[in-house]
Amino acid sequence: MELTKDEETKLIQAAMQVRKNAYAPYSNYQVGAALMTEDGKIFTGVNVENSSYPISMCAERSAIFTAVGTGETHFKAIVIATTNGGPPCGGCRQVMSEFSDQMIVITVDETGAVRMHGPVYEILPGAFGPKNLE
């Protein structure tokens, strides 16, 4: 999938901005995500921690689930903003692959510097997906 420089910049800015709203009182690792649909709509999400750790929610899944709730299921790219540009967890990679192994995944650090840039299939090779259930 092609992502223009303007689209990438817009997503980076959105992810960095929404990151400020993350609820991370335990890890202090705030994450913001900005997801772009194939038709250019942007959905954002943040990580929301819980004192019962397993029920916390990652920013990436938050953005994707919000988009799906509006009927969107075709995604072009996602930007994940963290302090250090950390990669998405395995669960988030699996959710991304459910919708498109071609979706571009970009991580940026707190300065906006790109740390990772590539399609889902590169960060989750051999993913289990809908085709495996046929």
* pLDDT tens by residue, 69-125: 999 999 999 999 999 999 999 999 999 999 999 999 999 999 999 999 999 999 999
Mean pLDDT of the chain: 97
Residues tagged active-site:
60
Q: 56: pLDDT confidence band, cut at 50, 70 and 90?
A: very high
Strand spans (E) along 39-102: 42-46, 75-81
CA dist 62 and 42 (Å) reads 13
What pLDDT shows up at residue 104?
98
- The residue extents of the domains of the chain are 5-133
- Residue 40, pLDDT > 80, answer yes
What pLDDT shows up at residue 129?
87
Domain made up of 5-133: CATH architecture: 3-Layer(aba) Sandwich (3.40)
- Residue 1, pLDDT > 80, answer no
Give me the mean pLDDT over the 37-48 stretch.
Answer: 98
Closest CA to 31 of 92, 97, 94, 83: 83
Closest CA to 127 of 104, 88, 101: 101
